[in-house]
């Protein structure tokens, strides 16, 4: 048998094999669907959603010792459980004295304790196996009957590393904050950004930035996060259609009728 005939036979066998394999792939796609469709969908979703393959969410609620706050938190937990099967934990508030006056940047006695409580949560989160941390303070209340349902959608489609779930719209310049409606000057020195920490979600990216810049005698936690607005990748939730009238915005408003938490109980 000549070499040319041998080459011809081998070529025919290769062509037949390729055809058979192609036919087999077509039959598999017809029967089971495109095996690469899910992978392509993940790749597309990854471009638009940083949480395309992440679903481990931890809800943490900072709770003080007043009964009205305890009742409010129990109600919030019951609402969350109607839509989420994620872990929900209670974190005790910290009661502490302010820093020495020459170091202290807070304006109220209980602000340092709240700052330290948030810091503890960031520290724990950064070494955990959770992908998203949602923090509520014990005075967070639903702004509408659809807040929990909308929260599901917001967390699923979260595209930034810090999501304000409830906030007050403020003007910010340096360490000075004012409501949007406040008369102001200074042109571009003022920035419009959200203000409040009664309800927000973060990734480990944001947690690390907050930890790296932390000062235990520093600004109150809401103003501290606000001061890093140019370093953080943040956004706010969409406004619910039937949101209760309030200066607060978002899915969760802040209950202002609660009594202040007890302070100065330790030398932390």
Shared-domain flag, residues 23 and 133? no
Separation between Cα atoms, residue 141 and residue 144, nearest integer Å: 9
Same-domain status, 135 and 222: yes
pTM for the predicted model, two decimal places: 0.71
Closest to 161 measured CA to CA, from 83, 49, 46: 49
Distance CA 178, CA 169 (A): 9
In a domain, 51, yes or no: no
Query: What are the residues whose beta carbons fall under 8 Å from the beta carbon of 191, sequence distance 6 or more?
Result: 171, 172, 173, 229
- 113 with 20, same domain? no
89 and 189 both lie in a single domain: yes
- Tell me the residue range of the domain where 62 lies: 56-254
Q: Are residues 83 and 19 part of one domain?
A: no
**Segment 171-213, tens digit of pLDDT:** 555 555 554 443 434 444 445 678 889 999 999 999 999 999 9
pLDDT in tens, 125-146: 999 999 999 999 999 999 988 9
Q: Which residue has the tokens 């009238």?
A: 245
82-135 pLDDT, tens digit per residue, is: 999 899 999 999 988 888 887 777 767 678 899 999 999 999 999 999 999 999
> Would residue 140 count as lying in a domain?
yes
Pair of tokens at residue 5: 């005939």
Burial of 63 (0-12, 13-18, 19+ CB in 10 A): buried
Residue 266 lies in a domain: no
Asked whether residue 13 falls in the same domain as residue 120, the answer is: no
For residue 66, report the phi and psi dihedrals to the nearest 5 degrees.
-90, 140
Look up the CATH number of the domain holding residue 130: 3.90.550
Q: Quick one: 21 and 112 in the same domain?
A: no
Domain count, the chain: 2
Alpha-carbon separation of residue 189 from 173, 195, 232 (angstroms): 6, 17, 18
Same domain, 83 and 153: yes
Q: Rounded to an integer, what distance in angstroms lies between the CA atom of residue 162 and that of residue 223?
A: 15
In a domain, 128, yes or no: yes
Average per-residue pLDDT for the chain:
78
Q: Same domain, yes or no, for 30 and 93?
A: no
Q: Is residue 50 part of a domain?
A: no
* Pairing of the two strands 87-92 and 57-63: parallel
Q: Could you tell me if 110 and 200 lie in one domain?
A: yes
Of residues 35 and 235, the one with the higher pLDDT is 235
């Amino acid at each position: 048998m000549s070499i040319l005939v041998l080459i011809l036979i081998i070529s025919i066998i290769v062509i037949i094999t390729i055809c058979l394999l192609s036919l087999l792939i077509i039959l598999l796609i017809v029967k089971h669907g495109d095996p690469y469709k899910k992978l392509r969908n993940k790749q597309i979703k990854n471009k638009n959603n940083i949480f395309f393959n992440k679903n481990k969410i931890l809800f943490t609620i900072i709770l003080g010792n007043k009964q009205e706050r305890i009742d409010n938190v129990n109600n919030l937990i019951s609402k969350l459980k109607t839509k989420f099967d994620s872990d929900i934990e209670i974190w005790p508030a910290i009661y502490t004295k302010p820093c020495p006056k020459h170091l202290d940047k807070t304006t109220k006695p209980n602000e340092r304790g709240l700052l330290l409580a948030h810091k503890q949560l960031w520290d724990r989160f950064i070494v955990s196996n959770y992908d998203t941390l949602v923090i509520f303070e014990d005075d967070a209340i639903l702004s509408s009957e659809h807040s929990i349902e909308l929260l599901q959608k917001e967390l699923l489609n979260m595209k930034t590393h810090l999501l304000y779930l409830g906030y007050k719209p403020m003007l910010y310049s340096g360490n000075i904050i004012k409501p949007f409606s406040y008369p102001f000057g200074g042109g571009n020195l003022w920035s419009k950004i959200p203000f409040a920490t009664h309800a927000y979600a973060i990734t480990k990216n944001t947690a690390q930035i907050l930890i790296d810049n932390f000062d235990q005698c520093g600004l109150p936690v809401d103003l501290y996060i606000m001061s890093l607005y140019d370093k953080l990748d943040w956004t706010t939730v969409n406004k619910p259609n039937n949101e209760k009238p309030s200066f607060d915005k978002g899915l969760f408003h802040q209950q202002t009728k609660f009594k202040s938490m007890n302070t100065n109980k330790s030398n932390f």
